[in-house]
Amino acid sequence: GPKVLQIPSHQIIDMGQMVTLNCDPVSNHLYFYWYKQILGQQMEFLVNFYNGKVMEKSKLFKDQFSVERPDGSYFTLKIQPTALEDSAVYFCASSSYRGQDTQYFGPGTRLLVL
Amino acid sequence: GEQVEQLPSILRVQEGSSASINCTYENSASNYFPWYKQEPGENPKLIIDIRSNMERKQTQGLIVLLDKKAKRFSLHITDTQPGDSAMYFCAANSNNRIFFGDGTQLVVKP
């Protein structure tokens, strides 16, 4: 099936540092999403993104978070500065249409903030 | 998410029996209901979905039912196997977003 790629698979950083998580969405998809999942718990929506803009974000999408997709390259989630509670698995997803089509998830980036 | 309620949170069944997971949603305009399976350390993978023009869909030992009047949908796994042990998420679309349930941890005991 369609593949979403995420780089890196794991990242360990010190609290206060910046981190950038990269997502390579399915090639013809137009809508992109980030979710946060703490081990064994629910998928928590962070943000969705279309046509270069944030369409919707949740309360979890703090001011320290930002997303962009410069020139059709990676869809990125940047956290600056990081906090201990940012430790989680971050999943990227993409879909053709917003809200009415299958979202395909990447393998996730496991972020550990020390 | 509060827009989609999912029960139970944990479900333990004996191998060979069936397992049922139930979800309710809030927005009567929701018309797309995917189900995802997530194994430990893996990403969620779509296993089956149903749209509002159907009441029932079946594929490879999975059955989904949709009751639009009650705003309820469910996943039924027939003849469960140990390989079915995983976290399962239901989801529903609303206002151009997909809302996920909190997940059901299915444990199939051999």
Between A87-96, B79-88, B91-100, the lowest mean confidence (pLDDT) is in B91-100
- What average pLDDT does the segment A80-106 reach? 90
Q: Is the pLDDT of residue B41 over 70?
A: yes
Closest-CA distance, B28 to chain A, in angstroms, reads 14
**A51 interfaces chain B, CB cutoff of 8 Å:** no
Q: What is the pLDDT of residue A73?
A: 86
Query: Residue A51 region, left (φ>0) first, then alpha (ψ -120 to 50), else beta?
Result: left
Q: Is the Cβ pair B97, A98 closer than 8 Å? A: yes
Nearest CA to A83 out of A61, A110, A64 is that of A64
Q: Is the Cβ pair B32, A99 closer than 8 Å? A: yes
**Tens digit of each residue's pLDDT (9 = 90 or more) over B85-105:** 999 999 998 877 889 999 999
**B27 interfaces chain A, CB cutoff of 8 Å:** no
Dist. CA A13–CA A54, nearest whole Å: 26
Share of chain B above pLDDT 70, in %: 98
**Tens digit of each residue's pLDDT (9 = 90 or more) over A59-70:** 999 999 999 998
Q: What are phi and psi of A89, to 5 degrees?
A: -100, 130
Q: Is the Cβ pair B89, A105 closer than 8 Å? A: no
Greater confidence (B65 vs B31) lies with B65
**Tens digit of each residue's pLDDT (9 = 90 or more) over A1-32:** 789 999 999 999 999 999 999 999 998 898 99
Q: Is the pLDDT of residue B74 over 60?
A: yes
Q: Is the Cβ pair A100, B94 closer than 8 Å? A: no
Residue numbers in B near A108 (CB within 8 A): 43
- What average pLDDT does the segment B33-48 reach? 94
Greater confidence (A40 vs A74) lies with A74
Greater confidence (A99 vs A59) lies with A59
**A98 interfaces chain B, CB cutoff of 8 Å:** yes
- Strand, coil or helix: B85: coil
Residue numbers in B near A106 (CB within 8 A): 43
Q: Is the pLDDT of residue A72 over 60?
A: yes
Which chain B residues in 68-87 lie under 8 Å from chain A, judged by CB atoms? 87
Nearest Cβ partner of B96 from A41, A99, A103? A99
Q: Is the Cβ pair A101, B45 closer than 8 Å? A: no
- What average pLDDT does the segment B72-79 reach? 96
Reduced 3-state DSSP string for chain A: CCCCEEECCEEEECCCCCEEEEEECCCCCCEEEEEEECCCCCCEEEEEEECCEEEEECCCCCCCEEEECHHHCCEEEEECCCCHHHCEEEEEEEECCCCCCCCEECCCEEEEEC
**B96 interfaces chain A, CB cutoff of 8 Å:** yes
Q: Is the pLDDT of residue A100 over 80?
A: no
Q: What average pLDDT is seen over chain B? A: 94
Query: Residue A85 region, left (φ>0) first, then alpha (ψ -120 to 50), else beta?
Result: alpha
Closest-CA distance, B42 to chain A, in angstroms, reads 6
**B15 interfaces chain A, CB cutoff of 8 Å:** no
- What average pLDDT does the segment A43-47 reach? 93
Q: What is the pLDDT of residue A98?
A: 65
Q: What is the pLDDT of residue B1?
A: 44
- What average pLDDT does the segment B63-76 reach? 97
Share of chain A above pLDDT 90, in %: 75
